Amino acid sequence: MAARSFHKQLEDAVLERHCANHPMTEKWAKGELSNRCMMGWAAEQYHWVSKMNAPTFYICKDAPDDVIHAELDNFHEETDPDHSHYEIMLKFAKANGGNLAKIIQGEGLPTTRSWVRFLIDIARDNPWYCGMAALRIGTESQSPMLYSKMLPALREIYKFKEDDIEHFWLHSEVDIEHGGRAFDLLVKHCKSSEQKEMCIHFARESAKMRWLHFDGIFLHYEMGYSLQ
């Protein structure tokens, strides 16, 4: 019962500011978001994901063996040279008119850079379970609900090829496993009230930071408010 309660508290903390409910997502799900903004989303997602090796390995620095194995599995899947998840995001950016060379040479919006710095700092400066709660629960566990909301419009309204939207259908499936594994590991290893409270706190704060990241994309690429 205690384990289920902790799991539910983690889920509820993320749902308080889940990006599936963001105004940009709502507009996207209706097929009303511009191609420029979808390109911007892919570019900013690239600038986030491509910098997540650092928090991954900071989590591993003092984690139990099963946590290290889970993190390394995730790392190898994301960076597989034969099926790089970075390339999948860039493919969607290109499908929306993005200049890939320019995107790769960029650094992301200030809101994206803030989210990246937040996740790196949490994983570096706190016990492993804080980094996992921020990166895997507050962020990664959002993908199935978020992308499932976008997929119908991507297919039925925008009419993208399945290959161009691979990021969405792939992560709506694989992140169920990734997020579920993170929940299980936190429930398994975090027994004290202090540990649980820290996990819930950082899951909640990470969800807020991802929401801010979405704010930046929406303001800059869709509403024309230049952030840089």
Report the half-sphere exposure of 209 (CA within 13 A, side-chain side).
Answer: 25
> 1-36 b/e with 16+ CB inside 10 Å = b?
eeeeebbeebeebbeebbbbebebbebbbeeebeee
206 falls within a domain:
yes
Comparing CA positions, the residue from 86, 80, 71, 175 lying closest to residue 123 is 71
Three-state SS string over 204-216 comes to: HHHHHHHHHHHHH
Q: Each residue of 19-61: pLDDT tens digit?
A: 999 999 999 999 999 999 999 999 999 999 999 999 999 999 9
Q: Do the domain assignments include residue 123?
A: yes
Asked, for residue 227, whether it belongs to a domain, the answer is no
In a domain? residue 140: yes
Domain assignment present for residue 153? The answer is yes
Helix-strand-coil split of the chain, %, nearest 5: 75, 0, 25
Among 131, 116, 9, which residue's Cα sits nearest to residue 68? Answer: 131
Burial label for 45, CB within 10 Å (0-12, 13-18, 19+), is buried
Residue 16 in any domain: the answer is: yes
| Contact call for residues 120 and 112 (beta carbons, < 8 A) | no
pLDDT at 224 over 80: yes
User: Rounded CA gap, 40 and 98, in Å?
Assistant: 8
pLDDT in tens, 113-157: 999 999 999 999 999 999 999 999 999 999 999 999 999 999 999
For the stretch 53-87, pLDDT in tens is: 999 999 999 999 999 999 999 888 877 777 777 89
Answer yes or no: is 228 within a domain: no
Q: Model-level pTM?
A: 0.93
**pLDDT at position 75:** 87
Count structural domains, the chain: 1
For tokens 């990664």, name the residue. 140
Q: What distance in Å separates the CA atoms of residue 5 and residue 199, rounded to the nearest whole number?
A: 13
Which of 74-106 are b and which e, b meaning 16 or more Cβ less than 10 Å from the residue's Cβ? beeebeeeeeebeebbbbbbebbebeeeebeee
Q: Looking at the predicted structure, is the pLDDT value of residue 3 above 90?
A: no
Amino acid 139: pLDDT: 94
Assign residue 53 the CATH number of its domain.
Answer: 1.20.910.10
